[in-house]
Amino acid sequence: MLLGRATPEATAHFASRHGGRKKTGFFRETPQRWTVSSLGLGTYLGEKSAEADESYIDAVMAALTGGINVIDTSLNYRNQRSERAIGQAIIRLIQAPKQLDRDEFTVCTKAGYLVRNAVPEVLRPEDVVGGMHSMAPSFLEDQLERSRHNLGLETIDVFYLHNPETQFGFVTPDEFYSRLRHAFGFLEQAVAAGKIQSYGAATWEGFRKPHALSLPRMESVAREIAGADHHFRFIQLPYNLAMPEAYSSRHETLNGASCSVLDAARELGITAVASASILQAKLARDLPPEMDTALPGLAGDAQRAIQFSRSAPGITTSLVGMGRRAHVEENLGVGAVPPLTVEQYQALFRTIA
């Protein structure tokens, strides 16, 4: 396995090597002081084929050499093939002279769903809900080891619980947070063992809908386990023109006041990552004509949709599924245009609300 992990110094060096994009605000700093690109590469979709694998390898290499240093995946994406393609791309780049250093980029993966041919024998029936999801520490330990092997990495930078809100349909809230406490306890141990740097929750509905996950309560669980220096430092949730709840909905409660999940994350020192920035290409075409004026300087609706997502106050990185080099090169065009200011974003949001 490759040694190394994302570091403040190396990620800052990565940004400096892409100085043109650095000047336009393409890079941001996380609370860990990692300098990360505001556009990240996702690996969810695609055929389970050798051709798709090679295309993903090429796309990841294009991303990491072109200025993107956030790579997102999951053990269940394309039945482990996405993780393995990322691992192959990293090896090829690391072995090439003067191409890339392991410490310059962040790799994020997830566990939670049962994956065909990757279900550990130690998993008990009572630890599985709906025949498909688990947060049991023994399960997470097994999945983490598989991901480290697939990616070829000694340390994974961010390890997410994948859609933990899935459990809510099967267990009570008290039981859910008890299970979360055991999961977080294991993940803190994995940090101490050097197998991950941070952990978080990657969600679909959990942080968008009222009465689902509570980010402050989840953070308090981590704080109870590991104190103020806990490593629950990332959340991922959909944020795009069609799904703006992370910014618009004020259903979180922090310090007695209502706020959005993005506000809560900022106050708690948690990095918010947007998924589905172009909603699986549904927002890559046929946007209203007024978006051309509201989001100027961009080539096409895909870039405008990405610009909307990455400009949201509180969003650090917006993920886009990119399984081909051409997708990477096209989407990197947003790096030539600064994101909207807070004032510009608020004005835009009022016009489309």
**Confidence bin at 353 (pLDDT 50/70/90):** low
pLDDT tens, position by position, 121-144: 999 999 999 999 999 999 999 999
> How many helices and strands (H and E) does the chain possess?
13, 12
Burial 192-210 (b: 16+ CB within 10 A, else e): eeebbbbbbbbbbbbbbee
Share of the chain above pLDDT 70, in %: 100
Q: Which of 267, 269, 213, 204 is nearest to 237 (CA)?
A: 204
Distance CA 52, CA 111 (A): 22
pLDDT-above-90 percentage for the chain: 91
Q: What are 47-101's pLDDT values in tens digits?
A: 999 999 999 999 999 999 999 999 999 999 999 999 999 999 999 999 987 779 9
**What's the whole-number mean pLDDT along residues 193-203?**
98
User: pLDDT at position 21, please?
Assistant: 87
Which tens digit of pLDDT belongs to each residue from 273-322? 999 999 988 998 999 888 888 899 999 999 999 999 999 999 999 999 99
pLDDT band per the 50, 70, 90 thresholds, residue 352: confident
Q: Is 42 helix (H, G, I), strand (E, B) or coil?
A: strand
Strands (E), the chain: 27-29, 35-37, 39-42, 70-72, 106-111, 156-162, 196-202, 232-238, 252-254, 257-259, 271-275, 315-321
Question: Is residue 35 pLDDT above 70, yes or no?
Answer: yes
pLDDT at 153 (0 to 100): 98
